[in-house]
């Protein structure tokens, strides 16, 4: 078996939100080992410049490849929006983003009125409306920056009046547009999808980015002959650029089981 096939799948995000994608990949591909990097020293990416996000992304992705990753999943919409092309050009392994598979799913479902919730960087990039215009030209697209959700989630405020107030503030203008589907275009948001769904109501379908991405990664790696045929001997590995006990606690909620975060001093 080629060494590349035995390598882990590398994922990264600005924090722990990308662990929702890691969880979906672990469920979809139980034979694969995951190598996750949360850039907690620089979160949130959504407030950073495109140049800064590209710089962080290139450093992390190359680091994961150096550690043996056979593929890279940009488990962050902000980084997917502005750094994907740079990573494809720079790396010798397959690179996946969390935008293209979701756009393809919207087109497949023939959604007529779709809303996008994302970070400032994701929404400002215009990548979702542009890609949807090409693949689903009949869909009416509205996008809203919803930046308060990430820090609230990172603070482990996953229930209660603070979260409810933030969701309500974003839900009101979204509902006023009569969208029939809502893309949660940030990998943090699925952890509070139930609360968002309850506020949006049964007439608005929430698209589950982690599961959509996991299916796409599984299919593509399978087509390229890069899936393992035996269970990995080593466990998944989880790294952060700045460790705190609070992050380890919330990381377990995102991944769905107890995990150990290791601080990796990528930037010294």
| Annotated catalytic residue 127 | no
**103: phi then psi, degrees, rounded to nearest 5:** -60, -45
> What's the Cα-to-Cα distance from 191 to each of 1, 60, 217, rounded to whole Å?
37, 24, 21
16, 103, 186, 259: the active-site residue = 186
| Annotated catalytic residue 186 | yes
Determine the Cα–Cα distance for residues 82 and 87; give it in Å rounded to an integer: 10
Return the structure tokens found at 165: 């107030």
Those residues with Cβ within 8 angstroms of residue 48's Cβ, 6 or more apart along the chain or in another chain: 42, 56, 78, 121
26, 71, 75, 76: the active-site residue = 76
Burial of 262 (0-12, 13-18, 19+ CB in 10 A): exposed
The beta-carbon contacts of 23-27 under 8 Å, at least 24 apart in sequence, are 23/210, 23/254, 23/255, 23/256, 24/210, 24/211, 24/213, 24/214, 25/73, 25/213, 25/214, 25/217, 25/218, 26/236, 26/255, 27/214
Q: What is the CA angle 90-85-205, rounded to 5?
A: 135
Contact 97, 84 (CB under 8 A): yes
Give the catalytic positions in this structure: 76, 186
């Amino acid at each position: 078996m080629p060494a590349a096939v035995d390598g882990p799948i590398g994922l990264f995000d600005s924090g722990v939100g990308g662990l929702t994608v890691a969880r979906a990949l672990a469920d979809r591909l139980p034979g694969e080992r995951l190598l996750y990097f949360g850039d907690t020293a620089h979160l949130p990416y959504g407030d950073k410049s495109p140049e800064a996000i590209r710089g962080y992304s290139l450093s992390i992705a190359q680091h994961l490849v150096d550690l043996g990753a056979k593929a890279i999943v940009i488990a962050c919409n902000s980084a997917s929006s502005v750094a994907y092309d740079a990573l494809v050009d720079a790396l010798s392994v397959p690179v996946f983003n969390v935008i293209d598979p979701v756009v393809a799913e919207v087109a497949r479902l023939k959604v007529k009125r779709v809303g996008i919730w994302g970070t400032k960087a994701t929404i400002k990039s215009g990548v979702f409306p542009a890609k949807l215009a090409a693949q689903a030209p009949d869909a009416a697209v509205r996008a809203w920056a919803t930046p308060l959700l990430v820090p609230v989630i990172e603070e482990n405020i996953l229930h209660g009046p603070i979260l409810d107030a933030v969701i309500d503030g974003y839900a009101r203008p979204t509902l006023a547009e009569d969208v029939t589907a809502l893309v949660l275009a940030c990998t943090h948001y699925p952890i509070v999808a139930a609360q968002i769904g309850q506020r949006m109501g049964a007439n608005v379908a929430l698209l589950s980015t982690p599961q959509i991405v996991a299916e796409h990664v599984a299919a593509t790696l399978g087509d390229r002959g890069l899936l393992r045929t035996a269970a990995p001997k080593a466990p998944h590995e989880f790294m952060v650029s700045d460790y705190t006990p609070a992050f380890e606690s919330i990381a377990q909620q995102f991944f769905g089981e107890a995990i150990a975060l290791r601080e990796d001093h990528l930037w010294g």
